[in-house]
Amino acid sequence: MSKEFKVDIKENMVIACENFGIWIIQDGKRRHVPDLPTQIKMNLLGRVIKLPTQEFLDIPEGEPVPSIPLRKRPGQQPVMK
């Protein structure tokens, strides 16, 4: 017996699927959030909903979210802005 998953996809929902990374729903499309600093800056990590692969792939793909780079202070380790 297979388990049915049907998540009501909403604007700004944060989703993940095994081996696909973190994505955010914007304008009805899933947009890849490229890296951990960007995910942290966007405050996404505590809001992730894991989807089954097919349900994830059924959501149209949009443009990736631009990376938010680390800012490096002179003589120090990089920090997030």
Does residue 80 sit in helix, strand or coil?
strand
Predicted model pTM: 0.79
Q: pLDDT by residue (tens digit) across 6-40?
A: 778 899 999 999 999 999 999 999 999 999 999 99
Q: Which residues contact 56 (CB under 8 A, 6 or more apart)?
A: 15, 17, 20, 30
Give 36-69 pLDDT, tens digit per residue.
999 999 999 999 999 999 999 999 999 999 999 8
